[in-house]
Structure 1
Amino acid sequence: MPDASAIAETTALDTTLVASLLLHPSRRALLVLDATGRVLASNERARTLIDPEMEAKLREALASAMAQLADHPGREVQYRHEQPGLTLDCLLRAVAGPDGGVRGYTVSLHNPEEAPDLAESPDRARWRFALENAQDGLWDWDAERGEVYRSGRCFTMLGYARDAFDGSFDSWQALIHPDDRPRVKVALHAHLAGERESYIVDYRVRDANGKWRWILDRGRAISWDHAGRPRRVVGTHTDIHDYKQIEAQLRERELILNQAQHVAHLGNWSWSPENDNLWWSDELYWIVGLPSSKPPPKFRNQRHLFTPESYARLHAASVALLKQGKPYALELVMLRPSGEQRVVQARGEAILDQDGRAQSLVGVIHDITEQRKAEETSRWRNDLLDRIAAMGRIGGFELLVETGELHWTDENYRIHGIEPGKPLRFEETLPNYCPESAQKLQLAFRRMVAERLEEQTADVCYVTPDDRRIWLRITGRLELRDGKPYRVTGLTQDITEEHEAGERIEQLAHYDTLTGLPNRFLFRERANEAIEVARRGEKPLALLFLDLDRFKNVNDTQGHEAGDLLLQEIAGRLRQCVRSSDLVGRLGGDEFLVLLREVARPEDAALVARKIIAAVGEPVALGGLDAQVGCSIGIALLGDNAPDLESLLRAADTAMYAAKDAGRNTFQFYNASFYERVQRRVTLEQELRQALARDEFHLAFQPTLSLRDGSVACIESLLRWRTASGELRSPAEFIPVAEECGEIIPIGRWVLAQACRQARLWHEAGLQFGRIAVNVSALQLRDPEFATHVLQACARERWPSDRLVLEITESALMRDSEVLRTTFDMFKANGITLAIDDFGTGFSNLGYLHRFPVRTLKIDRSFVSQMDQASNMLELTHAVVSLGHALGLGVVAEGVETENVLQLLRQQGCDEAQGYLFTRPLPGEEMATWLAAQA
């Protein structure tokens, strides 16, 4: 409880804090806190209910509530404090100073079980908010219980009986138009999340007749828990359906205003100064509100007929009229006996005698009360309509059919960017519309007149005087007079934002965001249309499938931004290479499609392909550096082999791969045999991925014999594949596919392990041979872990590494790298020998042969087989043998099949030979038998 000094501080609290305290029910426990949450004062109930321990717990629990009120001082935060044997409902309010800052807090507490009548009645806040907003229907949402109270007006405004639905939240949601529900959800969430001070949204609901009716829904959370979650939200429903019918209201109000302008009541009077005789017409009696059965009051006694100010002006004007003959025209306020005021226009003139004296006075009283009311109402309504029109960018117009004269509202002038008031004619405005839009407007106008169409709407493009392109929705209604077209009236709405948003959506959905070309979806749509036209007209059509060559190099060396710029440049060049009637699209990545319409001959498609290759091949400047790429193009013609778009795409894609196989930067027409090869390759790749798991591989072995003593110097391991169906696959066919798809890595490890294991078994059986040889792919050599895997395989299979030969191709040495050098260093340190297979068919760098641990050159069988038939081959093999010996390398001849060739190799000094002359490749067991026979 606070001490005396703290209580003394409460005297310094301003009236705002006291007023806040008085808002709490007097029977509750009340606390006054300063801005830090320290208790300054409390009532008797609080001192008996709250001990120091509870005060400390409350301070901690209410900390988050005070933090919430620091951001939202206008809220009321509720919190339920529970402890064994006691439950307290707490209500916390902030007290703001003159500067808007929080000066302190008031807290009221009560035990709901002990005093349930102290809880605030829901009706209190409910009806207080309804009175503040003065709207039609009232609703109150208890978020904790999920119940919603709605006043009867919420339902009767829609034609339903009172309490037509239950108190659930979803019952009203079911009435909301499906298109409007997301907006309602967003608006409500924004308020409940504290992003907006109040909830306000308009939407459509289904009324009792099944029609959609617009309402305005407004609300505000009036109670929050200590965690910042709303507990109660109250609000109102207002019927705004009429405001959504702007066009109908405009015509209706125009008619009302026109009628009001023609309302007029005129009364006349005359007075003779000589005999003081005054006469009123019957209409004047009605205007003044006096019975016509009595004589009118004398001039001097008419003070009571006007307001004091009006009578003073009328009296002064009447004196001047009587003495000087000066006419008057005044607007006055008359007072009827009932107290009703009437606004009149009073005019008076003097009839003079021959001497210039007033012989009589005459005048008229024009009751313009209704006119003034109508004018005031008209001004208010026109101002309202102008505001609505300006907010919605809606202008009105009137077009006279006979003369073509055009009248616009001020907002319509502003929409078109023209100074208001400028005279207009329909035909004079047409040049400012885009040609297609001008034709559309003329056609709509002529059809309305000729066919008596009641209403027409057209979306058109207009160019303003300052060269802005705007989109307008013009809706016109034809009016007849005496059965003939008289005029067209209607509305002009600026829909530029709506149209541009639609164009942006269209662009994103159908065009490539990088190049601006049609994407694959739009390309397919337009290509199918072109194919249908081609079929009906029997006119040829060609599809070009383009894939850029060396594009990856640009991305890798200059970055993806440079790659994007390159693609944009290539897209522009492709457009320039084809006709406007042709179609260019981006399939994705660096792939493009070109559809050529009405191709007279296949050669014409080839001409376009050459033109594209030349254009794409030109250098492209990218940030100070030049990039140069090429393209491979596949061409497919619409016909029997490609009757539809899908077939055309497959055929052109296949032809593109044929162009790449032909050396790239060229084009190829679709060829069925190449397609079959592609399909064959796909099948091989799919089967390869399962072959190892299915144990379909096995090894064959072929020996290499020393030409010096006839001993078996080495045995080469050869991979063989027999599928589950029993079909034997050629290594020349499946090895390249395995390298391309990456399967050569696991297959190569299997071959190495199997070869080492078989060599160990032969050795343990006492068979005599030198080394075991295994063919290695260039792809395996690029693996940083390859050397480690080789050494691990030798150790695992217990085969000496110095009796292992790895046969590689010349091309494997061309890609010199740190990984390759490290790998060869490990091989050299462990005695692993390298042999260059098929030597003479590649482009070796002799420096590599010297630098790397190469010990053997194997002369390709294509040279060896022709030694005894072509002298140049004999010389070539002799050169290879001499080169190998000059480099300190052993030389092996492959493909030896005759004794004659063998003798020529001996004469040239070749070291070893391999071929069918000795034996064909044999399985492991047969190879063991052959080895045993050599002993």
Structure 2
Amino acid sequence: MPDATSPRAEHDGPDVNADHAFLASLLQHPSRRALLALDAQGRLIVGNDRARSLVGGQLEADLREALADGMRQLAEHPDREIQHRHVTPQYTLDCLLRAVTGADGKVLGYTISVFSQDEAPDLAESPDRARWRFALENAQDGLWDWDAQRDQVYRSGRCFTMLGYARDAFAGSFDAWQSLIHPDDRPRMKVALHAHLTGERENYIVDYRVRDANGRWRWVLDRGRAITWDSAGRPQRVVGTHTDIHDYKQIEAQLRERELILNQAQHVAHLGNWSWDPENDKLWWSDELYWIVGLPNTQAPPKFRNQRHLFTPESYERLHAASVALLKQAKPYALEVVMLRPNGERRIVQARAEAILSDDGRVQSLVGVLHDITEQRQAEENSRWRNDLLDRIAAMGRIGGFELLVETGELHWTDENYRIHGIEPGKPLRFEDTLPSYTPESAQKLQVAFQRMLREHIPEQSADLCYITQDERRIWLRVTGSLELREGKPYRITGLTQDITEEHEAGERIEQLAHYDTLTGLPNRFLFRQRAEESIEIARRNNQPLALLFLDLDRFKYVNDTQGHEAGDLLLQEIAGRLRQCVRASDLVGRLGGDEFLVLLREIARPEDAAVVARKIIEAVGRPINLAHGESQVGCSIGIALLGENNPDLESMLRAADTAMYAAKDAGRNTFQFYNASFYERVQRRVTLEQELRQALARNELHLAFQPTVSMEDNGVACIEALLRWTSSSGESRFPSEFIPVAEDCGEILPIGRWVLGEACRQARRWHEAGLQFGRIAVNVSPLQLRDPEFGSQVLEACAREQWPTDRLVLEITESALMRDSDVLRNTFALFKTNGITLSIDDFGTGFSNLGYLHRFPLRNLKIDRSFVSRMDTTPNMLELTHAVVSLGHALGLSVVAEGVETENVLQLLRQQGCDEAQGYLFTRPLAADEMATWLAAQA
């Protein structure tokens, strides 16, 4: 080793500024140790006498190599002390390596102290000295010293006594203390210790709970630091302290709880607070104040001078002036201002603030609160609005309030109550003084109601009373009282008084309207039913005959349509008077509605008497009636039902009489019929048909049959008629003559007609595409379809959809369809003529033929009804009649078709008369579509 006394050995050495740092480091070593100073590269700078005698030659080289890892460690962690034990055959040397750093924290070099335990064991720093030195430096309560290499922990007495244990109560190992730590806190403690020992954190600090001698958990703050490390960077010695922070933790929990309660209270009260330090311009807001202002509490509150945007201009000016006075004169303020949130919402707040003064009277800080009273002001405004509204409602609804003090009999009224009773508001009243103004019955009722409340403690009573005002007006009042008890005794009665005069009078009028027909003055259906049921009960009990007549006027609709509803009303009034004259005073006459009337004959001697009354009514109703636009005449159809086994009550009698009335209409009108079970069955059959017919299309129960029309000239198939058929889901076949009228009455003929048209055109196209020869396809059309303004366009759409030429379509209509000439009919026929659609008159001769109609409309065919054709060769004059029809058709420019041809003889007669086409069983019966195709193929 070079001369240790040389100040500049092997190099120029550190500069003068570094010398003080080296000297300071050397003074921290025991003076009797061998001391060495190295530069940043680990080269020797200087050493003391002990170093010269102990370290030299090969030992120096070995130490330099052994301490190289320690120097690299200190380069990263210059605050550490590196211990190294170097063993040679002669010595066992303990080395302590430290770094020397400059003002900028960079490593300037290293110092090494070396001593041999064999020669001078007293030179080593004692463990107690090192422990107490660290404890004094950190000024903590309990001291612990952990020798990581031997896993031994020294703990001062305070570590035990702070937990109530005796000194050395448990072993000096790391795990002994670990077992005392709360299981939930152990992971956190280990994480903190590991972070320090691996160099992630400069110090080790963590708080956790430890079980004390009484088994309770106590909070401890544990802090420490590794003070020596081996050359491999492992901690050798860690020293630290335990501090009892249990009381602090409890105070902290209490403070948190109180802070939470305070914040919650402020939130509930919408109360935010603030403080401002004028000297440092530091402003603080509570969380609730952030909410009131509408700003996030993650940002700093705006400075005082930048808060103009938080208020309306007028509010800010007042608040600014008050704040200046507070800051300069310490004058507190209390203002109501309007804040503006960033989203434009307006909040009404009460702002209060005052100054905190220093000892010399200067303003030290300002504190204040903002109380959001927006909802309160809105509630107050709503309350005022509701009170005003209630006053207006009370006046509009004529509702007054009252208070009756039980002990004194004093009576207090609201102003509206005074006005209701017609008394000047404010006049002193007693309950007894008001009773004479009620009618005797009402006064007694009111007294009894209040006496029951007081005697039986009934909570509430209500009564409708009649009161006579000072100007002799009679008014009706609804008084409702509620009893209030105090200490179990009646104290007062409070309640409402409502003027129900109009309601009472309206009730009387409603009673009249509810039971009598307003037009005729007869009992309406409700009163008639009530009285009829009473009469039926008496008749059954006394075994007396009773009859019910159901009347329906004939031709009443004609009067309404031609002369107007006013004339119809006058006619009904006249009929009602005539009906009263036709019956006795003991009988009951009522109006069911429209032009239907009911007559209940009580105490008749025999059932036949009902027929006598019916004839009398028919004769009276049939007499002419003088109306504004002239004389009119109507009739009536009457159904009669008798009380008996088949009709034991009013409902059954009404059904029976209604059925009999329809029988009278079927019998020719202006007559009467007694109830007949067979006719009822026919009516029921019709109802059933109507119900089933509405579902027939959806259930695919309808289908078409087809019958050809043959040309007389060449025997070719001139046309094929599509005929509607219905087979119900039960397999029952329904005849067209039965269900077609029902379909027309209930309106189902319209969707069924559209289906027939489309299906017929679709089938005709299939036959045509199959190469079968025929002329046109014919479809029957109901008069109801012709009245539909959309029917013409629907026909054209069906032809286009099914790709069937319109000039190969024939629409067969009845004569009655032409009787109702209208713009709709003429427009539809014009559309058909434009598109080449053929119109044919079906069943000619069975209706009311009108040559004018035949000439006016664009018809092409006449079909002679089968009732004429089938009797041509058997009935006298029928041959001449058919010949006249054929001649008439030709004279009008129409081709004539004869239907119902069943014999060859009839066919020849028709040829002789010049008939153009024929149809009937002689050629084929109506066939299904596939059968028709086979028949057509056979004609080729």
Q: TM-score, normalised by structure 1?
A: 0.52
Which residue number corresponds to residue 191 of structure 1? 391
Picking from 201, 204, 225, the partner of 2:401 is: 201
Alignment of 1:738-757 (within 5 A): 738-757=743-762
Alignment of 1:91-110 (within 5 A): none
Give the partner amino acid of 1:875: E
SS at match of 2:414: strand
SS at match of 1:838: strand
Picking from 821, 829, 834, the partner of 1:824 is: 829
Find out whether 1:392 has 2:652 as its counterpart: no
Which residue number corresponds to residue 514 of structure 2? 509
The alpha-carbon deviation at position 199 of structure 1 amounts to 7.3
Aligned residues: 539
Compared CA separation, residues 57 and 719, structure 1 to 2 (3 A): farther
Picking from 625, 635, 644, the partner of 2:640 is: 635
Compared CA separation, residues 501 and 757, structure 1 to 2 (3 A): closer
Question: What is the aligned-residue identity percentage?
Answer: 71
Which residue number corresponds to residue 218 of structure 1? 414
Task: After superposition, give the CA deviation of every residue in 1:9-47 in whole Å (9 maximum; x if it has no partner).
Answer: xxxxxxxxxxxxxxxxxxxxxxxxxxxxxxxxxxxxxxx
Picking from 551, 566, 587, the partner of 2:556 is: 551
Find out whether 1:54 has 2:323 as its counterpart: no
The alpha-carbon deviation at position 700 of structure 1 amounts to 0.2
Picking from 563, 568, 572, the partner of 1:563 is: 568
Which residue number corresponds to residue 876 of structure 1? 881
Which residue number corresponds to residue 736 of structure 2? 731
Contact kept, 8 Å, 1:198 with 1:219, in 2: the verdict is no
How far apart, in 2, do the equivalents of 1:799 and 1:57 lie? Answer: 89
Which residue number corresponds to residue 871 of structure 2? 866
Task: After superposition, give the CA deviation of every residue in 1:274-328 in whole Å (9 maximum; x if it has no partner).
Answer: xxxxxxxxxxxxxxxxxxxxxxxxxxxxxxxxxxxxxxxxxxxxxxxxxxxxxxx
Give the partner amino acid of 1:708: E
Alignment of 1:469-508 (within 5 A): 503-508=508-513
SS at match of 1:700: strand
How far apart, in 2, do the equivalents of 1:594 and 1:199 lie? Answer: 47
Root-mean-square deviation (CA, aligned residues, Å) is 4.5
How far apart, in 2, do the equivalents of 1:250 and 1:644 lie? Answer: 45
Picking from 639, 646, 649, the partner of 2:654 is: 649
Contact kept, 8 Å, 2:439 with 2:468, in 1: the verdict is no
SS at match of 1:544: strand
Task: After superposition, give the CA deviation of every residue in 1:526-574 in whole Å (9 maximum; x if it has no partner).
Answer: 1011111211222211111112223333333443333333322222221
Compared CA separation, residues 770 and 203, structure 1 to 2 (3 A): farther
The alpha-carbon deviation at position 143 of structure 1 amounts to 7.1
Picking from 926, 933, 938, the partner of 1:933 is: 938
Compare CA radii of gyration and give the structure with the larger one.
2
Alignment of 1:433-832 (within 5 A): 503-832=508-837
How far apart, in 2, do the equivalents of 1:215 and 1:538 lie? Answer: 62
The alpha-carbon deviation at position 198 of structure 1 amounts to 11
The alpha-carbon deviation at position 89 of structure 1 amounts to 8.1
Give the partner amino acid of 1:662: A
Compared CA separation, residues 865 and 53, structure 1 to 2 (3 A): same
Contact kept, 8 Å, 2:439 with 2:467, in 1: the verdict is no
Contact kept, 8 Å, 1:806 with 1:834, in 2: the verdict is yes
Contact kept, 8 Å, 2:587 with 2:600, in 1: the verdict is yes
How far apart, in 2, do the equivalents of 1:215 and 1:503 lie? Answer: 32
Compared CA separation, residues 509 and 238, structure 1 to 2 (3 A): farther
Compared CA separation, residues 199 and 144, structure 1 to 2 (3 A): farther
The alpha-carbon deviation at position 522 of structure 1 amounts to 0.9
Contact kept, 8 Å, 1:199 with 1:218, in 2: the verdict is no
Which residue number corresponds to residue 324 of structure 1? none
SS at match of 2:932: helix
SS at match of 1:876: helix
How far apart, in 1, do the equivalents of 2:388 and 2:744 lie? Answer: 61
Task: After superposition, give the CA deviation of every residue in 1:852-894 in whole Å (9 maximum; x if it has no partner).
Answer: 2212111111111222211222222122122222222221111
Contact kept, 8 Å, 1:215 with 1:237, in 2: the verdict is no
Compared CA separation, residues 667 and 245, structure 1 to 2 (3 A): same
How far apart, in 2, do the equivalents of 1:236 and 1:145 lie? Answer: 28
The alpha-carbon deviation at position 720 of structure 1 amounts to 0.5
Which residue number corresponds to residue 841 of structure 2? 836
Contact kept, 8 Å, 2:350 with 2:371, in 1: the verdict is no
SS at match of 2:699: coil
SS at match of 2:812: strand
Contact kept, 8 Å, 2:776 with 2:809, in 1: the verdict is yes
Which residue number corresponds to residue 174 of structure 1? none
Give the partner amino acid of 2:414: R
How far apart, in 1, do the equivalents of 2:528 and 2:801 lie? Answer: 58
How far apart, in 1, do the equivalents of 2:313 and 2:348 lie? Answer: 15
Alignment of 1:126-141 (within 5 A): none
Find out whether 1:922 has 2:927 as its counterpart: yes
Contact kept, 8 Å, 2:579 with 2:617, in 1: the verdict is yes
The alpha-carbon deviation at position 903 of structure 1 amounts to 2.1
Compared CA separation, residues 55 and 574, structure 1 to 2 (3 A): farther
Compared CA separation, residues 196 and 933, structure 1 to 2 (3 A): closer
SS at match of 1:854: coil
Contact kept, 8 Å, 2:775 with 2:808, in 1: the verdict is yes
| Structure 1 residue ranges without an equivalent (≥5) | 1-47, 59-78, 91-111, 123-141, 148-184, 221-234, 252-388, 395-410, 417-469, 472-494
Which residue number corresponds to residue 63 of structure 2? none
| Structure 2 residue ranges without an equivalent (≥5) | 1-307, 319-335, 352-367, 417-424, 442-464, 477-499
Task: After superposition, give the CA deviation of every residue in 1:143-181 in whole Å (9 maximum; x if it has no partner).
Answer: 77989xxxxxxxxxxxxxxxxxxxxxxxxxxxxxxxxxx
Picking from 897, 902, 923, the partner of 2:907 is: 902
SS at match of 2:535: helix
Compared CA separation, residues 245 and 786, structure 1 to 2 (3 A): same
Compared CA separation, residues 541 and 199, structure 1 to 2 (3 A): closer
